[in-house]
Structure 1
Amino acid sequence: MSESAVQIIARGPRAAAEAGAARLDADPALEGATYSILEEDEDRGVWRIDAFPTSREEADGVAATLREAGGLSVAVEDLADEDWLAMSLSGLPPVRAGRFFVYGAHDQGRVPPNAIPLRIDAGAAFGTGHHGTTVGCLLALDDLLKRRRFERVLDVGAGTGLLAIAADLSGSKVAVGTDIDGPSVRIANENAALNGSRARFVHASGLNHTAVRGQGPYDLVFANILAPPLVALAQDIRTALKPGGWAILSGLLRSQERRVTAAYLSRGFRLHRRIRRDAWSALVLEKMG
């Protein structure tokens, strides 16, 4: 942004916050908008959306969409131009999700001895491990690893690369990630090197990139994106999986579970588990036959 960076904060009851988030997800012009939704005050029933637009046009669109949802107080606050994201990340606590421990450079030395450490320096990419969708995916992987291993893993919409790196460090022989955002791919590969991981990331839209097709079929596919592309990619994800393969899907609100689940059940998947964190849901599905 040519002007100072801004943060958009919207507060209100859960139903209003979920409605606002659903409007953001449904607007094609805001497909790349980065935001989080969480319960800020349980006693008062206050939920909060934080959005970090990357352009003035996106900021105006996000603010207008949240106001139009109704029931939310929306504020736009200026952020310091220099390294505001790094400063905000420095205050984030580490996250424990099953066997995985996600931390930043500021928490070096705090890794428990029995955990798989994942150092993630987010930069401009999504996926520090603090968002409910990312935590849900890690918990799903941890649960599945109690009964089997995944030789070949694909992470669609990899962001920081956290999920593919987690798969690699927990025993997968092949871990490939894709993202439509070039800077995210660079950051993901940097994070892989930082963690001593063999996971590799490519700039790609969809699952037709040669680096993706050439490593398939996969035992496990992550897709932590948004509900509309999850639905659109249902057949492609089925094709990318081996018979009996698994899909861990997130980036969807609880209110969007039925729509996404239906798209996969109709293509021969079986729903194994839902993992809910804050307003978000992760779906764990098995490809039958």
Structure 2
Amino acid sequence: MTYNPQQIIAKGPRLVAETAAEAIDNDAWLEGATYSILEEDEDRNIWRIDAFPTTEEEDERLQELLAEYPELVVTADQLADADWLAMALSGLPPVRAGRFFVYGIHDRGKKPLNAVNLRIEAGAAFGTGHHGTTVGCLWAYNDLLKKHRYERVLDVGAGTGVLAIAAAKTGTKYAVGTDIDAISVRISNENAKLNAAAARFVWANGLNHKDVRKDAPYDLVFANILARPLVGLSQSIKTALKPGGTVILSGLLRTQERFVKAAYLSKGFRVVRRIHRDAWCTLVMQRGS
């Protein structure tokens, strides 16, 4: 039986919403779940989770998990029997993050002349540039570029490839991205062609792929994934970076910042900067010499 896609919406106080979002991240059954969390009403302290299950099992598990938080008001709306992801993306405005302008084909006429324009088509991959984690990474990278140029950049968990493509469009000679999802790798490579960017993407679980090792050590590593994988990869990321190299970490909630930061501090990194956007945190850290 074909699954009819739904949008699950949960609204409630910030602490409860963040706790529920962290539970989604830590649930093995929801490892690939697509959701976002943002502030809907600052005055009333209402935060909102939007989840887009792609199977009946994922739908049921999301609703079971969210029901464990009685302070959240949970609703589910049936989505039209159409390419709902493309429809949703067509309604998203372009994103400006410093010098970077991220847009889809529906906004190709809005490209500013004074920007690094990145056309990103999501398909079934994560990372249009609208999510707080991706925007945080772009802002962090934009500010780093004011003082540095990076010849070798690695993007771990590339999604649509937007971060590695941004690097390739701003002077990086060797830009490589990885993802554990084969569809994301295909979409990333397609986006690199759309942007005439010399970035390449490979299917890899971890950092041991030969195409990752051959360009190491890297000057900069993006890792926009989830908190637990960020911690698990801390030693591998250190090894992939040159001494003094920079890592931009995201995909973590503010409530997970201390947990992730501690893992990297224990490996000899220092905090350069942190960016908070909605409920999300981006950490910029530098490897010790």
Normalising by structure 1, what TM-score?
0.98
For 1:86, the equivalent position in structure 2 comes to 86
Q: Report if the CA contact (8 A) 1:19-1:69 is conserved.
A: no
Q: CA deviation at 1:177?
A: 0.5
Per-residue CA shift, 1:229-261, capped at 9, x if unaligned? 000000000000001100000000001000000
Q: Structure 1 residues 155, 219: CA separation in 2 closer, same or farther (over 3 Å shift)?
A: same
Q: CA deviation at 1:111?
A: 1.3
For 1:125, the equivalent position in structure 2 comes to 125
Q: CA deviation at 1:143?
A: 0.7
The answer to whether the aligner puts 1:193 opposite 2:193 as a matched pair is yes
Distance 1:2 1:176 in 2: 37
For 2:9, the equivalent position in structure 1 comes to 9
Distance 1:111 1:3 in 2: 37
For 2:282, the equivalent position in structure 1 comes to 282
Distance 1:2 1:211 in 2: 38
Give matches, 1:86-125, under 5 Å.
86-125=86-125
Give matches, 1:206-245, under 5 Å.
206-245=206-245
Q: CA deviation at 1:30?
A: 1.1
Distance 1:70 1:17 in 2: 11
Q: Report if the CA contact (8 A) 1:217-1:240 is conserved.
A: yes
The answer to whether the aligner puts 1:19 opposite 2:19 as a matched pair is yes
Per-residue CA shift, 1:169-209, capped at 9, x if unaligned? 01100110011111111111111100111111111111011
Give matches, 1:168-183, under 5 Å.
168-183=168-183
For 2:152, the equivalent position in structure 1 comes to 152
Per-residue CA shift, 1:148-174, capped at 9, x if unaligned? 111000000000000000010011001
Please report the RMSD computed on the Cα atoms of aligned residues, expressed in angstroms: 0.9
The answer to whether the aligner puts 1:249 opposite 2:249 as a matched pair is yes
Per mean C-alpha deviation after superposition, the further-off stretch among 62-71 and 47-56 is 62-71
Q: CA deviation at 1:69?
A: 3.1
Distance 1:185 1:5 in 2: 24
One-letter amino acid of the counterpart of residue 80, structure 1: A
Q: CA deviation at 1:43?
A: 2.4
Distance 2:191 2:42 in 1: 35
Distance 1:213 1:77 in 2: 45
Q: Report if the CA contact (8 A) 1:180-1:203 is conserved.
A: yes
For 2:31, the equivalent position in structure 1 comes to 31
- What secondary structure does 2:96 align onto? strand
Q: CA deviation at 1:77?
A: 1.6
Distance 2:244 2:163 in 1: 20
- What secondary structure does 1:66 align onto? helix
Distance 1:283 1:140 in 2: 9
5+ residue gaps, structure 1, are none
One-letter amino acid of the counterpart of residue 259, structure 2: R
Normalising by structure 2, what TM-score?
0.98
5+ residue gaps, structure 2, are none
Distance 1:70 1:61 in 2: 16
Q: CA deviation at 1:262?
A: 0.2
Distance 2:145 2:6 in 1: 40
Q: CA deviation at 1:82?
A: 1.6
Distance 2:93 2:261 in 1: 32
Per mean C-alpha deviation after superposition, the further-off stretch among 140-149 and 24-33 is 24-33
Distance 2:81 2:236 in 1: 40
- What secondary structure does 1:109 align onto? helix
- What secondary structure does 1:58 align onto? helix
Superposed structure 1 runs of 4+ greater than 6 Å apart: none
- What secondary structure does 1:159 align onto? coil
Distance 2:222 2:63 in 1: 30
Q: CA deviation at 1:59?
A: 1.0
Q: Report if the CA contact (8 A) 2:3-2:54 is conserved.
A: no
Q: CA deviation at 1:81?
A: 2.5
Q: CA deviation at 1:70?
A: 3.5
The number of residues matched between the two structures is 289
Q: Percent identity?
A: 68
Q: CA deviation at 1:61?
A: 0.9
- What secondary structure does 1:70 align onto? coil
Distance 2:44 2:188 in 1: 38
- What secondary structure does 1:69 align onto? coil
Per mean C-alpha deviation after superposition, the further-off stretch among 273-282 and 45-54 is 45-54
